[in-house]
Structure 1
Amino acid sequence: MNRNFADFLFPDALMRGLEKEGFATPTQVQAQVIPAAMEGLDLLVSAATGSGKTAAFLLPIMERLVGAPRPDSGTRALVLVPTRELARQIHVHFTRLGSYTRLNNGVITGGDSKAHQIATLRKNPEILVATPGRLLELLETGEADLSDLEILVLDEADRMLDMGFVDDVLTIIARTNPARQSMLFSATLHHRGLSRITERMLREPRVVTVNPVREQHPNITNQVLLSDGPEHKQQQLLWLLRNENYEKALVFSNTRDGATALGNYLIGEGQRAAVLHGELEQRERNRVVGLLHSGRVNVLIATDVAARGLDIPGVERVINFDLPRSGDDYLHRTGRTGRAGEQGVAISLVGASEWNRLESIERYLNLGLERRSIDGLKASFKGPTKRSGGKKGAKKTATKTLGAKAATPKPKDRLRDRKNIGKRRRPKAASGSEVGVEAGHAPLGKRRIARTEPEQGSGTKY
């Protein structure tokens, strides 16, 4: 691994930007990706969120464009991302790292003024960061042109698939210069359907795997707090926000209505909180994120729209008010803390109905979750009761429950015993008549069986 960024021999303009931002030692993913990208190789990269992958692809792009300026060219590099928040975050990274270069970039996402974006495209930005839907619209109207493209980056490809963008992405790839260099980044390389993109996008790629999705993040402590229901969770959450030491906290809800209700509750309890979800207009979403960035609020309640793309300094607590629906969602939520070498804590509030999902997430991510409780707010739910193992255990449990009588083994029902039915004589009844018949010489199907009730007109029991 390189000891510092000077080993990459970046242009002076880039080194000044790195020094300004305090970048000295490359992360593991940067140390592996940057040299390969500077060689012009196609790359297939699996790296956990928060590992520094944005700079891993931005720095080689900027190094190439600064070293070989082409003022008459159209857009030379395209970064495709699944969400608006991630697009803006990459734009911020570019602005900071490239502040001493003459490179310019544009952001094309849904929710913003199309006229403004068309004006941006007419300036031929060298680097374009875009979400698939809006970019495809502008390609179809001829406002965007990717025929001069030299580098294509697809970031968070697994999320792109989850959001249903695969067809849009494939259409955009088909509109680019086929001689381009391509890099694909994904939290996991085992996502169903990923091969559809890699086959069309990459040529003999080098595979780089750093901090794979199922490897526990070394800078994040994962905790579980058992709860008895929504109201109990609210009380526990409020205690955590009032008593934990943190600069900023992200609280995740699975639904928009749940996030709104939780935000109203916390604001009513005096917390400096704001709510972020996908139904907000883009201007309002930008305003809310800005409030958290500036510190005017220190608690953000969000749906999974904020699980990716937000890189906000000082997020030291991630709290899952609702347990996420999958292990991948858990990873991307908790990845908002413990970034860039900082320490973070992820706390999940888990009720009885969420226990099975919690165990599934633990197995999938190979996580060691620390159990904790709050004095005065302990849950009556203590986790599932221990089950005895297998059928044998169940049999033993039933035997103990039913007592000694049930423990007596049941006689085996053997064929030879059934053949002798009627051969044995029973004690005489009070009337002196015998009970039973001599049926030993009759065929089995024709024998008469002893009866418990007398037949009509007979005093003899059979």
Structure 2
Amino acid sequence: MFDQFALHERLLKAVAELKFTEPTPVQREAIPPALEGRDLRVIAQTGSGKTAAFVLPLLNRLIGDAQPRVRIRALILLPTRELAQQTLKEVERFSQYTFIKSGLVTGGEDFKVQAAMLRKVPDILIGTPGRLIEQLNAGNLKLNEVEVLVLDEADRMLDMGFAEDIERLTGECAARQQTLLFSATSGGNGLRDVVAKVLRNPLHLMLNRISQLNEKTVQQIITADDATHKERLVQWLLANETYQKAIIFTNTRAQADRLYGHLVADDVKVFILHGEKDQKDRKLAIDRMKQGGVKVLVATDVAARGLDVEGLDMVINFDMPRSGDEYVHRIGRTGRAGGEGLAISLICHNDWNLMSSIERYLKQRFDRRVISELKGSYQGPKNLKASGKAAGVKKKKTDQKGDKKTVKKSARPAAKRKPNAPSGLVSTDGMAPLKRRKPAEE
């Protein structure tokens, strides 16, 4: 129960009204040290309740009687406007019985309207780095009295090229007393540098290793001959799988537009979401998806972070994501909050090596699936099939009596694990981030 935490009664009232009963693992581990004022670096899977884990301690710190607002007291940085908007809603829900006011600054919205909001000086400012820098340059934003800085999805912000913006914004918050960094992955060298620069004697919390993420989500691959074959597979899956809502991810805007056109022609109720869509179209797509007016969304990775849609139970990777972390974030859209989900990746010859590297990264092996009506000629690398060296492949072998028996062959010896490697929940100060590729722009 949330009353186990030393939270203000007004926050507990909001929590009870919102029917939050049992804290999630990340909330149980992060809220107490955050309430004590410690800097935190928290890595937890998508959909694990990270937002409440930093919002509740933040509100608890700022809570008090009504008084004139003369300074911004907390700043929450996020990578996308959709995630920022969702976070604002969460902050407003939890603060409904307090006098705390919040504001939102993101791209795609009226600059002058945002400047007018900033003159009213909200207690909590939520925003994306690019637009915050623009308001800062225009003289509309002062962060010198910020007490708490939150970096949510910090690895994604670095992937999107916001490293310099983050450095400048954290520098503007030089008087801060607490910094909280949350992410779904451990990131790479860039994130390590950020942690070293902005966190002071942090507590590191790692909940669920990458290999344990989305354990209730079935992960499958289906081989395909080319993009046209993939399009037919998508149409078959949407027509024959049982699902409430589905997202289909592509790596490029052009492919997203092409697939969207095919689905519309096939009378599928579908929306499209990518970086070239304006804010109005993006908001409409997400709202219609959440409300159930549309069951299918075609998207690039702009939707891979921060999109929380109830009932989303199928993800199709039309294109294999460019890194293990991006794969985690894509399939993290389904199987949320303990629910079950299905993640299907369509694999051409030029996807196979990338798929194999993601399997190694996750220390998992995806289920191989064949749709008999649409079985193609490509079934994986020829040398792999000939040698039977795929991990876990079962091969028929004849014994001396002529009877056949099944022998399970292993691809390679298991990698030796380093001493003290994190397993399950870890609270330590010496985590080594996993390596990954930086995704190219959409």
Q: TM-score, normalised by structure 2?
A: 0.84
Q: Name the CA shift for 1:254/1:177 in 2 (closer, same or farther; >3 Å).
A: same
Give the distance between the partners of 2:8 and 2:188, measured in 1 at CA. 37
Question: CA distance change for structure 1 residues 334 and 387 in 2, over 3 Å: closer, same or farther?
Answer: closer
Write the letter of the residue equivalent to 2:85: R
Q: Which runs of 5+ in 1 are unaligned?
A: 391-462
Over residues 423-452 of structure 1, what are the superposed CA-to-partner deviations in whole Å (9 max), with x where a residue is unaligned?
A: xxxxxxxxxxxxxxxxxxxxxxxxxxxxxx
* Residue 318 (structure 1) aligns with: 315
Q: What is the distance in 2 between the residues matched to 1:178 and 1:124?
A: 17
Following superposition, the deviation at residue 239 of structure 1 comes to: 1.4
Q: Which moved more, 1:235-244 or 1:91-100?
A: 91-100
Check if 1:150 corresponds to 2:147. yes
Cross-structure match for 1:457: none
The CA deviation at 1:76 is 1.0
Task: Indicate which of 127, 133, 138 corresponds to 2:124.
Answer: 127
Q: Distance in 1 between matches of 2:192 and 2:292?
A: 42
Task: State the 1:269 CA deviation.
Answer: 0.7
Checking the alignment, whether the CA contact within 8 Å between 2:81 and 2:128 is kept in structure 1 is yes
Contact 2:272–2:298, Cα closer than 8 Å, also in 1:
yes
Do residues 20 (structure 1) and 17 (structure 2) align?
Answer: yes
Query: Which fold has the larger relative contact order, with Cα–Cα distance below 8 Å and residues 6 or more apart in sequence?
Result: 2
User: Is the aligned partner of 1:34 residue 2:31?
Assistant: yes
Deviation at 1:389, TM superposition (A): 11
What do you get for the CA RMSD once the two structures are aligned?
1.8
Match of 1:381 in 2: 378
Residues 196-238 of structure 1 show CA distances to partners (whole Å, capped at 9, x for unaligned) of: 3223211101111112334342221111111122222112111
**CA contact 1:220–1:344 (8 Å) conserved in 2:** yes
Letter in 1 for 2:17: K
Amino acid at match of 2:229: H
CA deviation vs aligned residue, 1:392-411 (integer Å, no higher than 9, x gap): xxxxxxxxxxxxxxxxxxxx
Q: Is 2:137 the counterpart of 1:176?
A: no
Residue 99 of structure 1 and its aligned partner are, at CA, apart by: 2.7
Percent identity over the alignment is 45
Secondary structure of 1:135's partner?
Answer: helix
Q: Distance in 1 between matches of 2:326 and 2:332?
A: 10
CA contact (8 A) 1:276 1:302 kept: yes
2:240 alignment partner, one of 243, 255, 263:
243
Counterpart among 80, 94, 99 of residue 97 in structure 1: 94
Structure 1 pair 373/19, CA: closer, same or farther in 2 (3 Å)?
farther
- Report the alpha carbon displacement of residue 362 of structure 1 after superposing the two structures with TM: 0.3
**C-alpha separation between the residues in 2 aligned to 1:132 and 1:282?**
17
Q: Which amino acid aligns with 2:326?
A: D
Q: Give yes or no for contact 1:62–1:98 (8 Å, CA) kept in 2.
A: yes
Residue 355 of structure 1 pairs with residue 352 of structure 2: yes
Q: Which residue of structure 2 aligns with residue 204 of structure 1?
A: 201
CA contact (8 A) 2:151 2:181 kept: yes
Structure 1 residues 41-80: aligned runs within 5 Å? 41-67=38-64, 71-80=68-77
Letter of the 1:62 counterpart: L
CA deviations on 1:61-115 (whole Å, 9 max, x unpaired) are: 1112125765344111111011111111111222223333332211101111001
CA contact (8 A) 1:362 1:369 kept: yes
**2:17, 2:354 → 1: CA distance?**
44
Q: Secondary structure of 1:353's match?
A: coil
User: Displacement of 1:177 after TM fit?
Assistant: 4.0
Q: Deviations over 1:294-326 (max 9, x none)?
A: 111110000000000111111101110111111
Counterpart contact for 1:215–1:366, Cα < 8 Å? no
**Is 2:160 aligned against 1:163?**
yes
> Amino acid of the residue matched to residue 34 of structure 1?
I
- State the alpha-carbon separation in 2 of the partners of residues 378 and 262 from structure 1: 20
For 1:300, what is the secondary structure of its paired residue?
A: strand
Write out per-residue CA displacement over residues 14-65 of structure 1, whole angstroms, 9 at most, x where no aligned residue.
2232223221111111111000100000111112222211111011111121
| Among candidates 81, 89, 97, match of residue 84 of structure 1 | 81
Q: Number of aligned pairs? A: 387
| Paired residues of 2:149 and 2:176 also in contact (CA < 8 A) | no
| Displaced runs of 4 or more, over 6 A | none
Q: Which amino acid aligns with 2:139?
A: G
Deviation by residue 1:158-180 (Cα, 9 ceiling, x = unmatched):
11111111111111111114242
Asked if structure 2 preserves the Cα contact closer than 8 Å seen for 1:107 and 1:129, the reply is yes
Q: Does the Cα contact within 8 Å between 2:69 and 2:123 map onto a contact in 1?
A: no
Partner of 1:370: 367
Which position in structure 1 is the counterpart of 2:105? 108
Q: What is the deviation of 1:146?
A: 1.1
* Corresponding residue SS for 1:85: helix
